[in-house]
Amino acid sequence: MKALLFATLALLLSCQVSAQDVSSAAVADVQARPDAFVALRSVIPNLVVELRYLGSNNFLGRPVEGYVGNIVYMSEPAARALKAVQEDLASEGLGLKVFDAYRPQRAVDDFVQWAADSTDIVMKQQYYPSLNKDELFPGGYIAERSGHSRGSTVDLTLVRLADSQEIDMGSPYDFFDPVSWPSDTSITAQQQANRLKLREAMLANGFRPLDTEWWHFTLEGEPYTDVYFDFPVE
């Protein structure tokens, strides 16, 4: 039965089915990119992108498996919702900068393998100074399955439209520490206000936040709820 399910899904995806055709399938590691995934910059041309996992400025300190090209994908409904966020912020002279969106399952697997290697702590002081690597799973910072692989989750921050510079959020992206929780009050009032501005703009356009990462949001009613894709970012 399991083999039949995978074979059926592969056939559907090869025919470029829509999100509704596969959204209820409890499957993983789908290799094909459906038409319902779009490049974010094709929807939001003035979007600022810094794809951290394509290079070495990330908590692994090296490029991550599955990231080949400087392009960011999301499901089309998520991309359209994100465009609305960008348009709402423009009146205040602000815009969005995306660090990651769709994430291949092979990248998540790379995270898991990295976490299992206790000797590799080259980026500890920059990204998780108060934690040991074996605390990253219990703390919810790394998981064997990520909503990013479903295509409707995004990691992002705010920038000034005038110069594309980030505004101060009180902690950097992917900083694994309670200071990165949206509820943290150890940061300044202005930093808290900046986080709240991002959060309110995302909530107003159908995204839900994560309580441990100020930068992380997922589209409510995402089209793929049980499908974890593994096509490369290229």
pLDDT digit string, tens, across residues 19-40: 444 433 345 678 889 899 999 9
What confidence score (pLDDT) does residue 226 get? 92
What confidence score (pLDDT) does residue 91 get? 96
* 125 has a pLDDT exceeding 60: yes
User: Which pLDDT band, with edges at 50, 70 and 90, does 15 fall under?
Assistant: very low
C-beta separation of 183 from 138 below 8 A: no
* 172 has a pLDDT exceeding 60: yes
* 17 has a pLDDT exceeding 70: no
What confidence score (pLDDT) does residue 28 get? 60
| Measured distance CA(62)–CA(113) in Å, rounded | 14
Residues 6+ apart with CB under 8 A from 16: 34, 35
User: Which pLDDT band, with edges at 50, 70 and 90, does 3 fall under?
Assistant: very low
59-63, 129-133, 140-144, 145-149: which has the minimum mean pLDDT?
A: 140-144
Whole-model pTM above 0.85? yes
C-beta separation of 132 from 179 below 8 A: no
User: Which pLDDT band, with edges at 50, 70 and 90, does 52 fall under?
Assistant: very high
Q: Domains of the chain, with CATH numbers?
A: 28-229 (3.30.1380.10)
Q: Which residues are catalytic?
A: 213
